[in-house]
Amino acid sequence: MTRSAAPAQTDHSSPGFTRRLGTDRPVIKEPVWKPEIPFYFYTGGVGGASAGLALLSELRGNDVLARRAWAAALAGAVASPALLIADLGVPSRFLNMLRMFKVTSPMSVGSWLLSAFGPATAVAALDAWTGLVPPPFGAAAKGAAAALGLPVTTYTAALIANTAVPVWHEARAELPVVFAAGGATSAGAVALIVTPGRSAGPAWRLAVAGAAVELTAVTVMERRLGELAKPYHEGAPATLGRLAKALTLAGAGLAAARGPQSRGAAVGAGALLTAGAVLTRWSVFKAGSRSAADPPATVKPQRERIERGETAGAIRVELRRPVAAE
């Protein structure tokens, strides 16, 4: 008669265990997205938020700002799928994503959002600039574009948070706020640049408020991430992030202090805020690549969730040869 010895428990935190699992090498692949994607994050934000700004401005009787905001929304609606297709390589890959609608897939939802947002925004901009669209259709298009604008602004945050990249996935509560506020900042900044005189008043208020929320959300995100925020404090992401914060703060300060009185200050503030918004998205993008290449950043959060009982995990043990009984 034989019996097996009880399997010995393994210390999962030991360096030896880490080496045996191969976690001294990246556990997940780095994102393979091209440089078009950070700009895609930006254009989606400026397009979606500009549609909301345009509709509200029109309802308040500010047609000068409304027309320019609709133009900015249309520019974002055209640029976003173009950048996405450039990343995918061929247009057919984008069209393939429209063959089905999967509510649990941010990519599927986002593709359909872009496909609906573009035509609605085109009709809305045509109506705002020419008045040639019959009233019921023009009003419906403007309402649809504004309603679709918010998810277009934020769905890219859900898209990257749905990946296994630690610095994105663990910030899934803050990233939508960062992107929404960044979209508002971007829309206000573009409107500041292209809208003359007092008509730009709502634009500078939106830009300043969006910048304040964006800077706060980024700070909260980095602090809550704790050790996982290391990519935001090293290398290219850190440089881009610091520059983005400085430009955003400078642009918001200039817009608040001089934007309403000086056309030159408004344009300068808009340019600073635009640069800050683009660099913020580049910082998030680059931080994802560095985070994916860091094995402990991937393994540690998963292990902590298993220990807290939030997710199930496999129990790894070291097997020994059966020991014969006397």
Task: Quick: pLDDT tens for 136-171.
Answer: 999 999 999 999 999 999 999 998 998 889 999 999
pLDDT at 12: 42
- Rounded to an integer, what is the distance from CA 179 to the centroid of its chain? 5
At 215 the pLDDT is 96
Task: Give the least confident one: 20-29, 43-52, 125-134.
Answer: 20-29
The residues, any chain, with a CB within 8 Å of residue 57's CB and separated by 6 or more, are 63, 65, 66, 69, 202
Q: What is the pLDDT of residue 3?
A: 39
Written as one letter, the residue type at 179 is F
Q: pLDDT digit string (tens) for 182-199? A: 999 999 999 999 998 889
Token duo for residue 256: 């608040």
Say which range, 6-10, 26-30, 226-230, has the weakest mean pLDDT.
6-10
pLDDT, the chain, mean: 84
pTM for this predicted structure: 0.82
How many helices (DSSP H) and strands (DSSP E) are in the chain?
Answer: 12, 2
**Of 114, 76, 70, 77, nearest to 95 (Cα)?**
114
